[in-house]
Amino acid sequence: MRHRHLLLAALFLALFSPLEAGEDPILLWPEGAPGALGETEKDRPTLTLHTPAKATGAAMLLIPGGSYQGIYEGQGEPFAEWLNEQGITVFVLRYRLGSAGYRYPSQLQDAVEAMRHIRGKAAEWKIDPNRIGAMGFSAGGHLLTTLLNHPEDGNVPGDETGGEVSPRPDIAIVCYPVISMITKPHPASRKNLIGESPDEELIRRASSELQVKPGLPPVFLWHTSEDKLVPADHAFLYAAALREEGVPLEFHLYQHGDHGTGLMGTAHPWFGDLLAWLEKQAFVSAAPPVE
């Protein structure tokens, strides 16, 4: 069994590579990210814009996973292109990683700044500022849930303008996420995010099932029963917390599929389920173009 997990981990890491660009990447912090450890590409988080041929005015921040160790290409540009086909403008986030020495809340700072950048320039990109969602996979799903639950942790100390534009997305699409740092934690994600010996307060702060509050925006959440890398318990914990606080939720647990099931180019019912949900949220089809 241990050998199987090592093979899965090796395959997962082998698929890490820089995301192909839609347009030239946008530097989130032109003057340097807060707490930057250097000046190389890994220290400079970016957004990559993917523009649809026929935009509806809706937008999506796309957050790939990768155990907070890398950026998984398969959850980047392919999904950006698919969302573009639905008329949604997409921004792919490349955030700072634990493998480069960055711990919580550096990644959340990048996600918060990304949302503020998108919403703050909505008119420039012909985006409806009230129809900006976020979509995250695996560890990217964890980053999305921290952005949803407590974006204030991503505020940069001393930034007086931080509160002028809301960083919270209007909807969230959470795909086979890492959620808990307590219950069946994913070891690599936990280590890369909060280190080898985090204190109890940080462990709880980074466990998204403990941080849900009333009034959060609608969530589409899915996982598979057969996921061996990040067990479906994580999604159940988050779904239960969302229900407890009365947050609008659509939750799908699919029977078959290991971690990463439902990538582009594969047939899976989650695509149709998500499109139906997006239409109900006025993100596809029914939404008029922004002039």
User: Is 129 part of a structural domain of the chain?
Assistant: yes
User: What residue numbers bound the domain in which 127 lies?
Assistant: 44-280
Which tops the pLDDT comparison, 75 or 102? 102
Instruction: State mean pLDDT over 1-21.
Output: 36
Residue 15 has pLDDT above 50, yes or no: no
Instruction: Assign 4 a pLDDT band (cuts: 50, 70, 90).
Output: very low
Nearest in space to 151 (alpha carbons), one of 117, 113, 95: 113
- For residues 177 and 164, is the Cβ–Cβ distance under 8 A? no
User: Is 237 part of a structural domain of the chain?
Assistant: yes
Which tops the pLDDT comparison, 143 or 162? 143
Share of the chain above pLDDT 70, in %: 88
Task: Return the pLDDT at 87.
Answer: 97
User: Is 5 part of a structural domain of the chain?
Assistant: no
User: Is 217 part of a structural domain of the chain?
Assistant: yes
CB atoms inside a 10 Å sphere around CB 257: 17
Total count of domains within the chain:
1
Which tops the pLDDT comparison, 108 or 77? 108
Q: Lowest mean pLDDT: which of 192-206, 224-238, 249-263? A: 249-263
- For residues 154 and 108, is the Cβ–Cβ distance under 8 A? yes
Task: Return the pLDDT at 19.
Answer: 37
User: Is 36 part of a structural domain of the chain?
Assistant: no
Instruction: State mean pLDDT over 44-66.
Output: 96
Task: Return the pLDDT at 266.
Answer: 75
Residue 160 has pLDDT above 70, yes or no: no
Instruction: State mean pLDDT over 236-254.
Output: 98
- For residues 192 and 67, is the Cβ–Cβ distance under 8 A? yes
Task: Return the pLDDT at 165.
Answer: 94
Residue 18 has pLDDT above 50, yes or no: no
Half-sphere exposure for 230 (CA within 13 Å, toward CB): 32
User: Is 265 part of a structural domain of the chain?
Assistant: yes
User: Is 16 part of a structural domain of the chain?
Assistant: no
User: Is 235 part of a structural domain of the chain?
Assistant: yes
Residue 20 has pLDDT above 60, yes or no: no
Task: Return the pLDDT at 244.
Answer: 98
Residue 178 has pLDDT above 60, yes or no: yes
- For residues 230 and 8, is the Cβ–Cβ distance under 8 A? no
Residue 58 has pLDDT above 60, yes or no: yes
**With helix as H, strand as E and coil as C, how does the chain read?**
CHHHHHHHHHHHHHCECCCCCCCCCEECCCCCCCCCCCCCHHHCCEEEEECCCCCCCCEEEEECCCCCCCCEHHHCHHHHHHHHHCCCEEEEEECCCHHHCCCCCHHHHHHHHHHHHHHHCCCCCCCCCCCEEEEEECHHHHHHHHHHHCHHHHCCCCCCCHHHCCCCCCCEEEECCCCCCCCCCCHHHHHHHHCCCCCHHHHHHCCHHHCCCCCCCCEEEEEECCCCCCCCHHHHHHHHHHHHCCCCEEEEEECCCCCCCCCCCCCCCHHHHHHHHHHHCCCCCCCCCCC
Most confident of the following: 6-15, 22-31, 89-98:
89-98
Task: Return the pLDDT at 41.
Answer: 95
The CATH number linked to 234 is 3.40.50.1820
Structure tokens at 129: 């500022």
Residue 67 has pLDDT above 70, yes or no: yes
Share of the chain above pLDDT 90, in %: 79
Distances (CA, A) of 179 to 22, 80, 86, 145, 203: 30, 23, 28, 8, 11
Whole-structure pTM value: 0.89
Which tops the pLDDT comparison, 29 or 264? 29
Instruction: State mean pLDDT over 266-287.
Output: 87
